[in-house]
Amino acid sequence: MAEDGSDGERFLESVEQHLPFDEPERADILDELRSHLADSAAAMEAKGLGRAEAERAAVKRLGPAKRLADELTRARRDRSRLLAAAGAGAWGLVRGGVWGGLVGWAVVTVAALLISTAIAVAARQTGGAWTGLDTGTSAIPNIVALGVAVFVAARLLTPTFAARAGYAAPLVRWLTMPIGAALVLTYALAIWSGPLNWPGVVALVTLPLWWVAGAWQTRPFRLAFPRRIALSLAVAVGILFGANALFGPMLAGSARAYAWPAGSDRIGAPMPDWAAKAGSGGTTFGGYEELTIDVSDRTLLTGWTDLRIEAWRGTDPARGGGLDATETEPFLTAPVQWSAAGTSPDGNSVWYGGQGWPANAATLTGGLRLDRSPAATWAWLALTGVAPDGQRHLLSSLSGRQVFFQGTVLDWFGAVFSGG
């Protein structure tokens, strides 16, 4: 029988290196060859050869290791193996995706919480204000967790498919890598939809790289309970609770008092007295924002032209911002609509229903989609119109809104290239 380091074992190791099958199948093939070498060497020893010489002769009769491995591989391939490989590959994808997604999500979420806590502690110690991640940025941890899921799924797919199909993994990756990367890219560009900003777009566009990195690996990969990761998460959660206990609630952040944005006269001030006294309101439907004023007498606006809702670029007032001082024009406008007093233009919404409205009362409504403007993070909305004096005046008070782009990466680039 071949011993460790002998010609026979070296030959078997060489054969094993060239067999693409998984461990149990390789072990069967090698056991059969090992028993053959033992019998063959024993027969030659019986004829008078020395042990080492007999083993060398037995190895020689089997021919070159690579050729034998290649011929065995070809002999064991058939169509049913391809079907089994497709099934095993799909199962590997699902297992890897779920495992990677869970682990990735846990790690990334805890990391995001740790970083947020660290920033909140630093802000508190230095007297600054921090109100947490904005909506667009908050999607990035999920995208990164998705990247980990994609990496592990691809990491499992290549060696699993290769071993079941009976093809070398370095060959199979030239199939799994481009096809998978194309599918992941399609998902990242056209299917994933949510709040986006530039870092989020970059995270999504680079999602196929996670796949390429995983599919490139050819060594078998076993999913195991990630003890180190679990331990790290436990330590991280401990740090979070410790920081919270020492420094007080961190994650809620602290906001400065609301500040009326300076420079609002650029929009269209002053506001007529009757408009200032008019009832007004705002509504949000997903990314669609509406402003309304209930005008007691519609004739007050006789001679006014170009009544519209405007959105001006600004910064978060809670962070000390306001109207962007460099802006001279609204970045979005839309004409307003008249409707019966206390009623939305489509008639589906009625407010102050029991109120006795004056005979000429009416409601003025303007609406804009704010979730299609990649260049804005904060917007100030107002209803305005050009009075008979030729000047534009405010018809409602200013209303601030956080703006975040909502959609796919293709929507994002479409909006960017169309000047949104």
User: Least distance from C-beta 80 to another protein, angstroms?
Assistant: 9
Candidates 39-47, 155-163, 173-181, 289-297: pick the segment binding another protein (CB under 8 A): 39-47
Q: Give the residue, chosen from 13, 39, 265, 306, that forms a contact with another protein under the rule CB under 8 A.
A: 39
**10, 34, 95, 298: which one contacts another protein (CB under 8 A)?**
34
- Binding status of residue 28 toward another protein by CB under 8 A: yes
Q: Which residues contact 16 (CB under 8 A, 6 or more apart)?
A: 26, 30, 69
* Stretch in the footprint of another protein (CB under 8 A) among 70-78, 171-179, 331-339, 390-398: 70-78
Number of Cβ within 10 Å of residue 302's Cβ equals 8
Burial environment of residue 311 by CB neighbours within 10 A (0 to 12, 13 to 18, 19 or more): buried
Residue from 3, 13, 23, 31 in contact with another protein (CB under 8 A): 31
Of the candidate spans 61-69, 340-348, 352-360, 370-378, the one that interacts with another protein by CB under 8 A turns out to be: 61-69
Of the residues 3, 17, 35, 51, which one makes contact with another protein according to CB under 8 A = 35
Coil vs helix vs strand at 94:
helix
* DSSP run (H or E) holding 354: none
Separation of alpha carbons 190 and 205, rounded Å: 11
Candidates 74-82, 182-190, 273-281, 377-385 — which segment interacts with another protein by CB under 8 A? 74-82
- At 90, is the secondary structure helix, strand, or coil? helix
Cis peptide before 261 (omega within 30 of 0): no
CA-nearest of 349, 344, 367, 345 to 289 is: 367
Cα–Cα distance measured from residue 47 to residue 45, given in angstroms and rounded to the nearest whole number: 5
Cα 375 from Cα 353, distance rounded (Å): 39
Interface with another protein (CB under 8 A), residue from 44, 72, 311, 382: 72
Binding residue (CB under 8 A) for another protein from 26, 36, 298, 319: 36
Kindly state whether residue 18 participates in binding another protein, applying the rule CB under 8 A. Answer: no
The residue among 2 and 376 lying less far from another protein, judged by its C-beta, is 2
Quote the tokens at residue 296.
């007691």
Q: Which residues bind another protein (CB under 8 A)?
A: 1, 28-29, 31-36, 38-40, 43, 60-64, 67-68, 71-72, 74-76, 78
